[in-house]
Chain A
Amino acid sequence: MSTPFYVSPQQAMADRAEYARKGIARGRSLVVLQYADGIVFVGENPSRALHKFSEIYDRIGFAAAGKYNEYENLRIGGVRYADLRGYTYDRDDVTARGLANVYAQTLGTIFSSAGEKPYEVELVVAEVGATPDGDQIYRLPHDGSIVDEHGSVAVGGNAEQISSYLDQRHQDGMTLAEALKLAVQALSRDTNGTQREIPAERLEVAVLDRTRPQSRKFKRIVGPQLSRLLAVGGAESEAESAEEEGSGEE
């Protein structure tokens, strides 16, 4: 006769959380930053077709780190939720807060139900407002908790280190090129503090741009526009580092 092992609820949850965190950590991190005209999503992604960022609704964007099939599933669920809500009521009634709550409930139920394996994903839901004060960014870890973020947020395996790097350097009212430069710098720092180069073709960049005349504010930044922005940010960073070097020698 076999007796099932007793596992305390604390232990069971800790095990599930560790399982999910390990899964998320296998992928690359990504960052979401506020800038003067909106919110920018930056991540390292060698694939051109499998996106980490996407449009959910007019002003709402989605970013995810972790297991692709799981977050893709959640993304489509979110698009369906938003489109159905907008169709039933009005386009203005679709909000990032509502969507974040639904995701939190979904992730939370999956995380704590014994029959399902926890999702190995961490999400960001962001909504661009008419002014920077109206911007909303929510981070949703694997367990269904929900964190209201400001300025900058990083998710994925290396998120804590990147977040603290961003927290120290992010300022309100940055231009897109500045924000992009900061994001790339943050992403290209390895755990041991060394810098590595991320070429433009491995970067996935998208924005929610409040200045877009269309009601749909989400836009991918690709090709020449991305290179141009990186060049602007790069030139500034060279100038800055030259200054720093100069001051160091004195």
Chain B
Amino acid sequence: MEANTRSTGRLPAAFLTPGSSSFMDFLSEHQPEMLPGNRQLPRTQGVIEAPHGTTIVGVTFPGGVVLAGDRRATMGNVIAQRDIEKVFPADEYSAVGIAGTAGLAVEMVKLFQLELEHFEKVEGAQLSLEGKANRLSTMIRSNLGMAMQGLAVVPLFAGFDVDRGKGRIFSYDVTGGRSEEHNFAATGSGSVFARGAMKKLFHDALTEEQATTLVVQALYDAADDDSATGGPDVARRIYPIVTVITESGFRRLTEEESSEIARAILARRLEQPDGPRAALL
């Protein structure tokens, strides 16, 4: 029956069956093998070698949120890619940055973007920011089997909450557990160092420009102490990806803008290698 309806070129019955507004739900009924979570992995010895993305940082400021990531992907002690992109728009008012196994993470982002877009088209309205964050949780949970084999994906989700009028950040663990982060957050191998930097630099009244500078400072500090995180590569003109989400939507800083921030920081670091100092008391 199924094969028959497909061969006529007619939309299969599943397409015309009223049901959920979720693309993942539709896929799990119609073509479950297409869902990344349903993939069966053979039993393997040890950890599978695959490129890993490293550090993502996010910081809120009055009126929005900034999400940024470095550009390095590593495989063991080798730099797998110098210009990887790890921060993506999820939809008009949110973005997701990914640390962990790059291949799976990029696929997850693609499906997540589609999930949000699909809902919006079917329902004629956007999901709430909370709803989006929960949806991402489900996706990470479906990847748990692979996470146990060393192929974990740990994203950072940031968005502008249109209902509350402010930027919010959500972090996740490998089991899909999500928690809202206040003020700033980081994920990935360099996150401990980035978080330390942000803790010292953050305050409640940051402007958008200050917030974008802050995240690049934090990424610099992460790269300073974590070999898997890449710093600004002036020679190759590879700069961190910085995105800003405000009431007017998602915006990614142009290469020119992010290079300007990175170069200004580099210039200051030549004089003061450890970066800006916080007051002792």
Contact = CB atoms under 8 A, between A and B. Distances in A.
Interface of A: 49, 51, 54-56, 73-74, 76-81, 83-84, 86-88, 101-103, 105-106, 108-109, 216
Interface stretch (B7-15, B78-86, B174-182, B212-220): B7-15
Contact of B122 (A74, A79, A101): A79
B114 interface: yes
Nearest to B13: A77
Interface class of chain B by DSSP? helix
Given A51-B124, A87-B111, A81 B117 contact: no
B199 interface: no
B23 interface: yes
Interface string B1-32: 00000001111000110100001001100110
Contact of A76 (B10, B110, B122): B122
Interface string B129-172: 00000000000000000000000000000000000000000000
Contact of A81 (B8, B15, B34): B15
Interface residues of B, number: 21
8 contacts: A54-B124, A56-B121, A73-B16, A79-B118, A83-B117, A84-B30, A87-B23, A109-B10
A108 B11 CA distance: 11
A106 B31 CA distance: 20
Interface of B: 8-11, 15-16, 18, 23, 26-27, 30-31, 34, 110-111, 114, 117-118, 121-122, 124
A87 B9 contact: no
A193 to B, nearest CB: 36
Nearest to A87: B114
B110 A87 contact: yes
Nearest to B113: A87
Given A84-B27, A87-B110, A79 B8 contact: no
Contact of B8 (A54, A55, A84, A109): A109
A239 to B, nearest CB: 36
A80 B114 CA distance: 11
A49 B125 CA distance: 10
A99 to B, nearest CB: 10
Contact of A83 (B9, B10, B114): B114
Contacts of A105: 8-11
A102 B124 contact: no
